Amino acid sequence: MLLNRIRTDAEDRGLIAYAIEAPEDRSLPSLLAPALRSILLQLSRKEHAKEFAHKALQALSGFLTSVKVSYGDIVFTLDVEPEPGLADSGDLETDLFELLRYTGEAAAAQDTVVALFIDEMQYIKIHELGALVSALHGAMQRALPIAVVGAGLPQLLGRLGKAKSYAERLFEFFPIDSLSERNARYALVKPAERNHVHYGEEAIAKIVEATQGYPYFLQVWGKHCWDEAERSPITVRHVQRASKYAIDDLDQSFFLVRFDRLTPKEKEYMRAMAELGDGPHRSGDIAALLGMKVEAAAPRRNNLIRKGMIYSPAHGDTAFTVPLFAGFMKRIMPEPGSGG
């Protein structure tokens, strides 16, 4: 949602932008190809960029031809004759750089900026992430007006560093966490006030505490409090009744969707984490609760990190990626190892 808002702002400023979400089972070429096709077709209709955009489309056509051999999820072709030797070597890092280079040159000719907005970047495979970082580095060295704005779970920073050691110098990183108490209050109260509805102070404090300032949870609690109260103001009594519905809502949607992606062994690991509390926890303590050595439990932990369920805030530590998940795990698996 945040990336889409930034993308809209970029388009309002006359930039050429495209938003992408990276699911677990898609390759980077399959995500970038339709985005760059759309961008280049826009540029090809601009007088100053026509020639450069056509060159970039030839590069994209060659790129598609080469990556289809390596990636089975490329689902479209481009009705532009490729130029032999242009972005078709089969080496993702080299070809992606050429593709971004010619796209950037087309944008420069039109005196505009191309921006790719990529959400869930933690799901991009390490070697593909490295190729993207390398290609962007090359574009930046040539001062080309092409940029990537990405978002992802906390492990993204570590994955970028693993992909290319210089990634931390190439990007600016802005952590987005739960809202501060002040901002959580504002997010809850202001939309209601615009509709002439007010919250009591005790009610506000109760919701901020229950949601831990997590933006989506504030929306869920706000919705159920709104439904529960017949008139303004919304009181702590309304919050107490609404909280049950809010938790049930999250259990049946937000939490359950994540839980259903787990294997039985991964669920056991998450339940052991929940037994220890909200966390973060030492990985050794979780393994001990499972009756395992740290090394034996490591594959489960790594899979859960890859799926975005947990992350490592510090070496040897493990934490849930969203608040309140420990409580959910205890509700859906009343006893450790009880299954789900």
Q: Is the previous residue joined to 233 through a cis bond, with omega within 30 degrees of 0? A: yes
| Phi and psi, residue 214, nearest 5° | -75, 125
Given the structure tokens 């505009």, which residue do they identify?
Answer: 112
- Token reading at 340: 């789900």
Where exactly does CATH 1.10.8 map onto the chain? 181-252
Stretch among 91-100, 320-329, 330-339 having the lowest mean pLDDT: 330-339
Note the pTM of the prediction, 2 decimals.
0.76
Where exactly does CATH 1.10.10.10 map onto the chain? 257-332
310: helix, coil or strand?
strand
Residue 334 φ/ψ region, left for φ over 0, alpha for ψ in the -120 to 50 degree band, beta for the rest: alpha
Stretch among 80-84, 179-183, 207-211, 314-318 having the lowest mean pLDDT: 80-84
- CB 32, CB 48: distance < 8 Å: no
H/E element, 119 = strand 114-119
Say what the pLDDT of residue 81 is. Answer: 80
Say what the pLDDT of residue 126 is. Answer: 92
Say what the pLDDT of residue 337 is. Answer: 64
Number of Cβ atoms within 10 Å of the Cβ of 281 = 22
Partnered with residue 317 across adjacent β-strands are 282
Say what the pLDDT of residue 100 is. Answer: 94
Say what the pLDDT of residue 340 is. Answer: 47
- Model confidence pLDDT, tens digit, residues 111-129: 999 999 999 998 899 999 9
Query: Going by CATH, does the domain composed of 257-332 fall within 1.10.10.10?
Result: yes
Stretch among 31-35, 182-186, 270-274 having the lowest mean pLDDT: 31-35
Mean pLDDT computed over 239-263: 95
- Model confidence pLDDT, tens digit, residues 96-113: 999 999 999 999 999 999
Pick the CATH number of 181-252 from 1.10.1060, 3.30.200, 1.10.8, 1.10.3470: 1.10.8
Gap between the Cα atoms of 194 and 180, Å rounded: 22
Gap between the Cα atoms of 108 and 16, Å rounded: 12
Say what the pLDDT of residue 48 is. Answer: 87
| Phi and psi, residue 334, nearest 5° | -55, -30
Q: Residue 69 above 80 pLDDT?
A: no
Gap between the Cα atoms of 306 and 329, Å rounded: 19
